[in-house]
């Protein structure tokens, strides 16, 4: 989640992790107790967990990425913040006249939006940390995420020591990390010291400035991942069973907040995909994998500017490339954790059997059944949701499109049937590739599993002679003469049969 917030606010990946390392070093120098250290650890990691809240409004107001100008001044003076806002309001490349007009039009909106945005960040932070399984003591810290030492923050109900110590440490560590990336250790020390007594607790700011090189020096290969995992205060928090699903669902909702058009998408896909997996006969552990993958499949959306998700007109080439990369960003986030990396379907949900999908351009054999099913569930749910450039498709129209996609060899026909069944549609007759009949497609799927002619016959309740005739007809249509070639064709076109069917003893092990 910390990595996702990095992408959401437009800073370097691991920004939150590095800030957490600095925060823990500060806490150690300050001699804080174990409970304070634990609260500081989680608060610093997730300080920007509310960053996707009302992102669509910011997209309407600001012409450029706020990370460039506004983030460095979050803890600065009001004058610094105003200058930053004025720089961010105009569209890039605008003429002087246009810039002036845009500032005049957008500044009142920015002022009105600011207080609402700060309140939203606090509320969303508290809600998401609760769903992530963090203790109440950590959740409550997020009521102070936008407060300042001098009492001039928002909502302005706390100042000085009234702001919990973990949050005062978090403020210094987060700003120091950002300034460090912008200009090195000396800049970070200078800026933090200048903000002492204003935004920051003077004692903590002075400690950071005095011991800047020791507190902010990188270790090892420069990645903070292992440092953070090893530095988590004891007792370490552990999620099990349903608490894992609640946390993953929270991450999905965090991503969906990037646009009102996306709200509820991840949860809806998870429900649909899990039900389809059950109806498809997937094993219980596979159903869990599909559901959990669906919750987080779009977490990479946060790396795409909200204005793109809100755009009602056709995307430019550059914008479309950014959209295509959201699946890659999901993979970057999930791959760091061995547990989450196992949710492979999450990063394959835009792949297609014919290689026309993204971001890998994977083809049939490389796309596993769980991934194929999630791809269909995601497509169906997206089509039945409104988007800024179109009204929602009717369920019937979406079902028709999916059936056509299966017939064209882009989506798995069995996955389409399962998803449509789960969505309450009559299961359509899917047009099979190469002119195969439904029975021939079944036969090829069984042959792909390694079943011999007699086993195919028993599985389908037909005679061996009839089974052999279907096999020969199918081989002729798809232009193959061996089981391996038929298996490759079956995988590429989504015909491989799965479920509680026997596998031939002569089949290759894999």
User: All domains of the chain, ordered by start, with CATH?
Assistant: 2-231 (1.10.3210), 242-431 (1.10.3210.10), 435-492 (1.10.10.10)
Closest among 241, 219, 330, 344 to 290, alpha carbons compared? 344
pTM: 0.82
Closest among 301, 271, 368, 413 to 56, alpha carbons compared? 301
Looking at residue 264, its pLDDT comes to: 85
Q: Each residue of 268-316: pLDDT tens digit?
A: 999 999 999 999 999 999 999 999 999 999 999 999 988 899 889 999 9
Looking at residue 62, its pLDDT comes to: 73
| SS3 of residue 423 by DSSP | coil
230: Cβ contacts below 8 Å, ≥ 6 apart: none
* pLDDT > 70? residue 492: no
Distance of alpha carbon 478 from alpha carbon 495, whole angstroms: 12
Q: Each residue of 362-406: pLDDT tens digit?
A: 988 899 999 999 999 999 999 999 898 999 999 999 999 999 999
Looking at residue 81, its pLDDT comes to: 80
Dihedral-angle region of residue 218 (phi above 0 means left; psi in -120 to 50 means alpha; beta otherwise): beta
Residue corresponding to tokens 């997730």: 46
């Amino acid at each position: 989640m910390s990595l996702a917030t990095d992408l959401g606010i437009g800073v370097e990946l691991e920004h939150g992790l590095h800030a957490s390392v600095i925060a823990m070093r500060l806490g150690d120098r300050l001699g804080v107790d174990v409970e304070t250290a634990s609260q500081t650890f989680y608060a610093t990691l997730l300080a920007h967990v509310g960053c996707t809240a009302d992102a669509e409004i910011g997209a309407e107001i600001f012409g450029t990425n706020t990370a460039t100008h506004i983030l460095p001044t979050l803890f600065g003076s009001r004058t610094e913040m105003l200058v930053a806002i004025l720089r961010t309001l105009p569209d890039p490349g605008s003429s002087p006249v246009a810039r002036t007009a845009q500032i005049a039009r957008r500044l009142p909106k920015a002022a009105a939006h600011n207080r609402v945005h700060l309140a939203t960040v606090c509320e969303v932070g508290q809600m998401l940390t609760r769903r992530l399984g963090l203790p109440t003591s950590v959740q409550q810290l997020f009521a102070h995420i936008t407060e300042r030492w001098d009492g001039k923050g928002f909502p302005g109900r706390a100042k000085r020591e009234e702001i919990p110590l973990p949050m005062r440490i978090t403020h210094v560590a987060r700003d120091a990390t950002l300034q460090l990336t912008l200009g090195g250790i000396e800049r970070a020390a200078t800026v933090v010291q200048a903000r002492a007594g204003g935004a920051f607790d003077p004692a903590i700011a002075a400690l950071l400035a005095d011991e800047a090189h020791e507190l902010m020096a990188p270790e090892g290969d420069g990645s903070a991942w292992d440092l953070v995992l090893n530095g988590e205060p004891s007792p370490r928090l552990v999620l099990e069973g349903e608490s894992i699903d609640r946390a993953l669902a929270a991450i999905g909702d965090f991503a969906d907040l990037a646009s009102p058009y996306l709200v509820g998408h991840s949860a809806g896909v998870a429900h649909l995909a899990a039900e389809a997996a059950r109806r498809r006969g997937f094993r219980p552990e596979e159903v869990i994998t599909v559901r959990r993958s669906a919750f987080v499949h779009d977490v990479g959306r946060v790396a795409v500017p909200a204005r793109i998700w809100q755009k009602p007109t056709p995307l430019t080439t550059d914008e479309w490339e950014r959209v295509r990369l959201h699946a890659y960003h999901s993979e970057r986030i999930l791959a760091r954790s061995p547990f989450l990396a196992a949710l492979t379907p999450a990063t394959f949900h835009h792949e297609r059997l014919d290689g026309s999908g993204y971001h890998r351009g994977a083809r049939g054999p490389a796309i596993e059944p769980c991934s194929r099913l999630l791809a269909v569930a995601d497509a169906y749910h997206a089509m039945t949701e409104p988007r800024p450039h179109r009204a929602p498709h009717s369920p019937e129209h979406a079902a028709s499109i999916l059936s056509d996609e299966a017939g064209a060899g882009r989506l798995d026909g069995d996955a389409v049937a399962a998803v449509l069944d789960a969505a309450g549609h009559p299961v359509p007759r899917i047009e099979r590739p190469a002119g195969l009949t439904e029975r021939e497609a079944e036969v090829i799927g069984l042959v792909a599993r390694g079943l011999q002619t007699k086993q195919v016959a028993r599985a389908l309740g037909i005679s061996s002679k009839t089974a052999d005739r279907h096999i020969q007809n199918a081989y002729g249509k798809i232009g193959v003469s061996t089981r391996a070639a038929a298996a490759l064709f079956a995988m590429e076109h989504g015909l491989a049969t799965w479920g509680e069917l026997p596998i031939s003893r002569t089949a290759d092990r894999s």
